[in-house]
A and B are shown apart, each in its own frame.
Chain A
Amino acid sequence: MTSVKPTRRHVLQAGLAAVAFPALIRSAGAQDADLSAYKAAKIDWRQASGEQITVAVIPASYFDALIALAPQFEALTGISVRFEKIPPAQIRQKAVIDLTSKAGGYSTHAADPMYYALYAANKWVESLDPYLKDATLTDPAWFQPDDIIPAWRNANTIDGKLYGVPYDGEVTVQVYRKDLYDAKGLKAADTLEDYVANAAALNDPGNRLWGAALRGVAGAGQNVYIYSSLFKEFGGDWFPGGKFRVNGPEAEAALNWYVDVMRKYAPTAAQNWNWPDIADAFSQGTIASYIDANTSASVITNPEKSKVVGKIGFARWPKGPTGKRVSSIWNWGFPINASLPEKRKKATWLFIQWAASLQTQALTSYQFSGPAKRSGVNRLSLWKNPDFVKLMNSFGDNFVATTLDALEQDTDVNWRPRVPQWPAIGDTLATAIQQALVGQATTKAALDEAQRRLEPMMRG
């Protein structure tokens, strides 16, 4: 049976996919698109033809762009792809449950980089290095794995082995109201001290303008995301002398700074805010500056919702007392489920390679036909591509330069403790930070309690 011939199963599968994802029908025309850019790769794209893979992603415009393009992948490889959208709050648990069951429900999923240590410890996912080295599966000259942003690749690497290929990601930066800063003669903060001074100069709650906002809501990817950068900038070390530690003077200083900024210069409600809430408030002109993901730019520069378009500036994280800048980084990467049969693993790898390739990254970002063009592309070369840079710089002053500097110079792969116990550490730290923020405990008491809870977990 050749795979090109449409069998009844294929028709049924296509029908099912069409029922599940009406978006696919609309973009079915994409199948006629030019596949020559992919065929330039010296591999047999059709070697796993006939396989069906399931990909779990989160509902987000940057994955919608990939889903819209998926018919091209199906035409190229003969592999059918089913996408399942799972909200970000549940995708980690769903993935873990699927991986523990060893049923191979999700061939790959959008993975949290902090979970690779856990995945690797349980041997739930494959090391991707053999796939990268296998000449029948990967054409390195075409795929150019080294072009993928190193900070993100490192985040997905455990003990020298790559476990997930980044598809989309972000780096955190300072976002500020250029008009307000200019009016007062202020400059984007170079140090955390400057940042506080700027916030103090502009803070005017009586007129519904607050000086700053940081993520306040509890969560390993929320308040801990920002706090970990502060902790590192204040000279913190998660494993001093090889022993895990979350309390101590550096931790207290970092947490005090965070609590201070949030209490004095942020709206009270920000204690429960995640980044979309911050971006919304900033769009309404009620926040003078925030430190968060560069990708939030797409919200605050949306002319339909934002009142501050054209008044926005970007700058790198302010330096901490140690003189270091440590940006919080994130990427959604794709691992391969180790419970899959061999042929489906290959099919999954082809999908990953396709999704992470320069061509797909370009087609889902500045070349995308839809309105939401993604900004979190994974390729250094794209960040230097004039067309992409032109589109991105329409976000505001200094956007591309800030992002590239932050990605290349301000990251520290171990800014959060990358160990299998991360889910417990993240949750415990999140609770401690929030306890300190709302005044349920002093910073010292909250951190000491977190240390007391985490110590037995780390001892094993």
Chain B
Amino acid sequence: MTKATTLDVPVGGRADPARMMEGRERRFAAALLAPAFIALMATTTFPLLHLGWTSLHRMDLAMPFMDGFVGLDNYRELLGDPRFWSALGVSLVYTFSTVILQVVLGLALALLVNGMKRGQALFRIVAILPVVLSPAVVGMVWRTFMLTPEFGVVDYLSMTAGLGSHNWLGDPSLALFSVVVIHTWQWTPFAFMVLLASLAALPEDIYEAARIDRASPWLCFVRITLPLLRPAIVMVIIMRTMVALTAFAAIFTVTGGGPGTATEILNLYAYRKSFTELSIGYGSALAVALLIFTLVITGVLFALRRAK
């Protein structure tokens, strides 16, 4: 006791030792946190704010004499830009179709493999392969090896099956379909792995009870499996949606947004505006628009996840 008193006296006499320790600890924690916090601010928040700031400017490398603050002009122009709306449409079609396909196919595969007695491990290893490839590599492989008319594997199969040769990436109506297939091919294994793991963790006793009640397999699936898997499915949907909305590399390498603008997603349009046409200001506005859409859609999905 005397020890504590003698220690306290020099600091002011009436300080509470516990509170003082707490304050010191908080300062220490703040000091420990600071580097990471500053690094995070510098690498994420600051560029984001800078992007927003740039989007309020006219910044055109081709016409540097026109540069300057323009307020919301870029956004006004964006709302009247048909190519923006078409790119947004392509982005939405691309996102929803790939996510739905991934979940449906991934779930089907997971159910199939979950019932397998042997070879599950092998199947899982094979399935993971596309996921670990870089999207740019996947794009190159599909573009040259699989989809080239008259020379590619897919076209050969199509010709052999009597469906004829098609310009899979050159025909505007087929190109979007092709890039959706490529993305689905690469990322379905992700959905498959997550859902397979969740399936394996489902409690067996509920199914046993259902069997005693003579529930049909379909009923079991709809009333037991799906509700139990719901959190996993929603999680897969959220993660895949965010990635699909910001997809870039595969489409860039496969079609570059073409033919024409048939596969030009919003991301690619912002890239072309900024780095090919060198209209950095307008390109930033497009990027901000994409950010807003991603946030809104993710917000909706999270809200759906909570609602029950």
> Contact at A440–B61, with CB atoms within 8 Å?
no
Determine the distance from Cα of A431 to Cα of B87 in the docked complex, in whole angstroms: 14
> Contact at A424–B62, with CB atoms within 8 Å?
yes
Interface residues, chain A, with chain B CB atoms under 8 Å away: 93, 96, 100, 118, 121-122, 218, 267-269, 271-272, 419-424, 427-428, 431, 434-435, 437-441, 446, 453, 457, 460
Chain B residues near A121 (CB, 8 Å)?
Answer: 62-65
The prevalent SS among residues of B at the interface is: loop
With A121-B65, A424-B278, A427-B272 known, 7 other A-B pairs at CB within 8 A are: A269-B150, A271-B167, A420-B62, A437-B259, A439-B172, A440-B259, A453-B83
Interface residues of B in 3-37 (CB under 8 A from A): none
Determine the distance from Cα of A439 to Cα of B261 in the docked complex, in whole angstroms: 12
Chain B residues near A427 (CB, 8 Å)?
Answer: 272, 276-277
> Contact at B62–A438, with CB atoms within 8 Å?
no
Q: How far is the CB of A450 from chain B (nearest CB, A)?
A: 11
> Contact at A424–B279, with CB atoms within 8 Å?
yes
> Contact at A438–B171, with CB atoms within 8 Å?
yes
> Contact at B275–A268, with CB atoms within 8 Å?
no
Interface residues of B in 106-162 (CB under 8 A from A): 148-151
B262 within 8 A of A: yes
B231 within 8 A of A: no
> Contact at B62–A435, with CB atoms within 8 Å?
no
> Contact at A269–B277, with CB atoms within 8 Å?
no
Known A272-B169, A424-B278; contact A460-B63, beta-carbon cutoff 8 A: yes
Query: What are 5 inter-chain pairs, A to B, with CB distance below 8 A?
Result: A122-B64, A434-B260, A435-B260, A437-B259, A446-B260
Task: Name which residue of chain B comes closest to A93, CB basis.
Answer: B275
Chain A residues near B52 (CB, 8 Å)?
Answer: none
Determine the distance from Cα of A268 to Cα of B64 in the docked complex, in whole angstroms: 41
B246 within 8 A of A: no
Chain A residues near B279 (CB, 8 Å)?
Answer: 424, 457
Interface residues, chain B, with chain A CB atoms under 8 Å away: 61-66, 83, 148-151, 165, 167, 169-172, 256, 258-262, 272, 275-279
Q: How far is the CB of B137 from chain A (nearest CB, A)?
A: 15
Determine the distance from Cα of A440 to Cα of B263 in the docked complex, in whole angstroms: 12
Q: How far is the CB of A451 from chain B (nearest CB, A)?
A: 14
Determine the distance from Cα of A460 to Cα of B62 in the docked complex, in whole angstroms: 9
Most chain B beta carbons < 10 A, residue from A93, A424, A428, A435: A424
> Contact at B64–A269, with CB atoms within 8 Å?
no
> Contact at B61–A269, with CB atoms within 8 Å?
no
> Contact at A423–B62, with CB atoms within 8 Å?
yes
> Contact at A269–B260, with CB atoms within 8 Å?
no
Chain A residues near B148 (CB, 8 Å)?
Answer: 269
A-B pair count, CB < 8 Å, reads 88
Determine the distance from Cα of A96 to Cα of B62 in the docked complex, in whole angstroms: 11
Determine the distance from Cα of A439 to Cα of B170 in the docked complex, in whole angstroms: 10
> Contact at B66–A460, with CB atoms within 8 Å?
yes
Select one of B62, B65, B151, B259 contacting A218, CB under 8 A.
B259
Q: How far is the CB of A72 from chain B (nearest CB, A)?
A: 37
Task: Name which residue of chain A comes closest to B279, CB basis.
Answer: A424
Task: Name which residue of chain A comes closest to B59, CB basis.
Answer: A100
> Contact at B261–A431, with CB atoms within 8 Å?
yes
Task: Name which residue of chain A comes closest to B63, CB basis.
Answer: A460
Determine the distance from Cα of A423 to Cα of B275 in the docked complex, in whole angstroms: 9
Select one of A100, A268, A428 contacting B170, CB under 8 A.
A268
Chain A residues near B151 (CB, 8 Å)?
Answer: 269
Q: How far is the CB of A228 from chain B (nearest CB, A)?
A: 17
Task: Name which residue of chain B comes closest to A439, CB basis.
Answer: B172
Q: How far is the CB of A262 from chain B (nearest CB, A)?
A: 11
Known A122-B64, A423-B62; contact A269-B149, beta-carbon cutoff 8 A: yes
Chain A residues near B277 (CB, 8 Å)?
Answer: 423-424, 427-428, 457
Q: How far is the CB of A87 from chain B (nearest CB, A)?
A: 12
Known A93-B275, A268-B165, A438-B172; contact A457-B260, beta-carbon cutoff 8 A: no
Determine the distance from Cα of A424 to Cα of B167 in the docked complex, in whole angstroms: 28
Determine the distance from Cα of A269 to Cα of B165 in the docked complex, in whole angstroms: 11
Determine the distance from Cα of A422 to Cα of B60 in the docked complex, in whole angstroms: 12
Chain A residues near B62 (CB, 8 Å)?
Answer: 118, 121, 419-424, 457
> Contact at A268–B150, with CB atoms within 8 Å?
yes
Determine the distance from Cα of A421 to Cα of B62 in the docked complex, in whole angstroms: 5
Known A421-B63, A423-B278; contact A440-B165, beta-carbon cutoff 8 A: no
User: 7 shortest A-B CB distances, which residue pairs?
Assistant: A435-B260, A424-B277, A438-B259, A440-B260, A271-B170, A421-B62, A440-B172
Task: Name which residue of chain B comes closest to A272, CB basis.
Answer: B170
Chain B residues near A440 (CB, 8 Å)?
Answer: 172, 259-262
Chain B residues near A453 (CB, 8 Å)?
Answer: 83
Q: How far is the CB of B179 from chain A (nearest CB, A)?
A: 14
Determine the distance from Cα of A141 to Cα of B239 in the docked complex, in whole angstroms: 67
Determine the distance from Cα of A25 to Cα of B271 in the docked complex, in whole angstroms: 39
> Contact at A420–B63, with CB atoms within 8 Å?
yes
Determine the distance from Cα of A189 to Cα of B272 in the docked complex, in whole angstroms: 38
> Contact at A269–B170, with CB atoms within 8 Å?
yes
Determine the distance from Cα of A107 to Cα of B111 in the docked complex, in whole angstroms: 60
Q: How far is the CB of B300 from chain A (nearest CB, A)?
A: 32
Select one of A218, A268, A431, A457 contacting B167, CB under 8 A.
A268
Select one of B65, B66, B167, B261 contacting A269, CB under 8 A.
B167
Select one of A422, A434, A457 contacting B259, CB under 8 A.
A434
